[in-house]
Amino acid sequence: MHIQIGMQQSLTVVKKVEFGVYLAPEGSGEDRVLLPAKQVPEGIRIGDSLEVFVYRDSKDRLICTTSAPALRLGEVAVLRVVQVGKVGAFLDWGLEKDLFLPFREQTRPVREGENFPVALYVDKSGRLCATMKLYHYLRTDSPYRKDDRVSGYLYEISRQFGAFVAVDNRYSALIPSRELLGEWKVGDRVEGRVSAVHEDGKLDLSVREKAYRLIASDAEKVMCAIDGFGGTLPFNDKASPEVIREKMQMSKNEFKKAVGHLLKNGEIRITENGIQRIGKGASDEL
């Protein structure tokens, strides 16, 4: 058994010194790591076992702590950016030394105070670092089934595929590009419905409600837009898909269904150049 950097592990006290104690895997005297004096529990003796986390200090020396960090090797957790420097950012993960997030491991530039899901890995020089590129760190054995409600954090956006989401900071999911209406950015917390579970275990998510709920929701959105324009929307359902998407953050098909719902209920009238509320806030003139 060897000391594993980036992992919580049980090690045995093999030597006591003025500045701390040295710990080693049971049966190994050469492979050892320092636990600083301020971390050493009172009354500890040689031969005692301690649960510790192993990492590197600010001078890149192997060291351990009895504190538990926010994530371990291969895990994913949402961390806060405490500083952005010339070579990358630094994240608060619960230890004295902040966790380094290199620029090359960022899926978009980060700013101080922001929160992002990241994974922990060991770089080529043997240091622990964070990455926002989570695809290969997420599991595909989720317990979720179609129509289950889930939540997670958006960690990468692809124009071709859609938005990648870490569900429960653990499972791999995708919001297909057709679902990406409105403004989305890496770091957003997402709540949605499982629309599909693929054979490989990956999830597809829908952030839109089912049709019977969606039409009512979209209809309310159209009415709010009409009120925002003083009772008359300056375009109707014959407008281009681009205009509708820009102004309403919905597809033309969704917009037409919502407008049809409102027409059926007698809440609006369609004019040559717009859509007018009937009654409150609307002019009676056509």
Q: 219 lies in a domain?
A: yes
Q: Average of pLDDT values for 171-192?
A: 85
Q: 3 lies in a domain?
A: no
Q: Is the pLDDT of residue 112 over 70?
A: yes
**Helices first, then strands: H and E counts in the chain:** 3, 18
Residue 43, beta-bridge partner list: none
Q: What is the pLDDT of residue 174?
A: 95
| Tokens describing residue 245 | 């998407």
Q: Is the pLDDT of residue 28 over 60?
A: yes
Q: Is the pLDDT of residue 208 over 80?
A: no
Q: 70 lies in a domain?
A: no
Strand-pair category, 88-92 with 99-102: antiparallel
Cα separations (Å) of 190 from 78, 236, 247, 284? 13, 31, 22, 42
pLDDT, tens digit, for every residue of 230-266?
Answer: 888 899 888 888 888 888 888 888 888 888 888 888 8
Lowest mean pLDDT across 58-62, 108-112, 263-267: 58-62
Q: What is the pLDDT of residue 185?
A: 85
Q: What is the pLDDT of residue 285?
A: 42
Q: 252 lies in a domain?
A: yes
Q: How confident is the model at residue 281 (pLDDT cuts 50, 70, 90)?
A: very low
Q: What is the CATH number of the domain that holds 232?
A: 1.10.10.10
Q: Is the pLDDT of residue 21 over 80?
A: yes
Contact indicator for 69, 95 with CB cutoff of 8 Å: yes
Q: Average of pLDDT values for 139-147?
A: 93
177 three-class SS: helix
Q: How confident is the model at residue 286 (pLDDT cuts 50, 70, 90)?
A: very low
Q: How confident is the model at residue 160 (pLDDT cuts 50, 70, 90)?
A: confident
Q: 238 lies in a domain?
A: yes
pTM (two decimals): 0.67
Query: In degrees rounded to 5, what are phi and psi of residue 256?
Result: -65, -40
Q: What is the pLDDT of residue 118?
A: 95
Q: Give the side-chain half-sphere CA count within 13 A for 237.
A: 17
217/243 same-domain check: yes
Where among 206, 230, 260 does a domain terminate? 206
Alpha-carbon distance of 140 to 171, in angstroms, equals 6
124/142 same-domain check: no
89/100 same-domain check: yes
Q: 12 lies in a domain?
A: yes
Q: What is the pLDDT of residue 214?
A: 65
47/20 same-domain check: yes
Q: Is the pLDDT of residue 180 over 80?
A: no
Alpha-carbon distance of 128 to 168, in angstroms, equals 23
82/122 same-domain check: yes
Q: Is the pLDDT of residue 201 over 50?
A: yes
Contact indicator for 261, 215 with CB cutoff of 8 Å: yes
Total domains, the chain: 4
151/193 same-domain check: yes
Q: Is the pLDDT of residue 176 over 70?
A: yes
Q: Is the pLDDT of residue 159 over 50?
A: yes
155 three-class SS: strand
Query: In degrees rounded to 5, what are phi and psi of residue 13?
Result: -70, 120
Q: 283 lies in a domain?
A: no
Where among 106, 135, 164 does a domain terminate? 135
Q: Is the pLDDT of residue 167 over 80?
A: yes
Residue type, 159: R
107/127 same-domain check: yes
Mean pLDDT for the chain overall: 87
Q: Is the pLDDT of residue 228 over 60?
A: yes
pLDDT, tens digit, for every residue of 117-138?
Answer: 999 999 988 889 999 999 999 9
Q: Average of pLDDT values for 156-179?
A: 90
Alpha-carbon distance of 18 to 36, in angstroms, equals 9
153/175 same-domain check: yes
Query: In degrees rounded to 5, what are phi and psi of residue 49?
Result: -105, 145
Q: What is the CATH number of the domain that holds 117?
A: 2.40.50.140
118/147 same-domain check: no
Give the residue numbers spanning the domain of 111.
76-135
Q: 284 lies in a domain?
A: no
The per-residue DSSP string of 57-105 comes to -TTS-EEEESSPPS--TT-EEEEEEEEE-SSEEEEE-SSSSPEEEEGGG
Where among 176, 206, 236 does a domain terminate? 206
The share of the chain scoring above pLDDT 90, in percent, equals 42
Q: Which residue has the higher pLDDT, 271 or 184?
A: 271
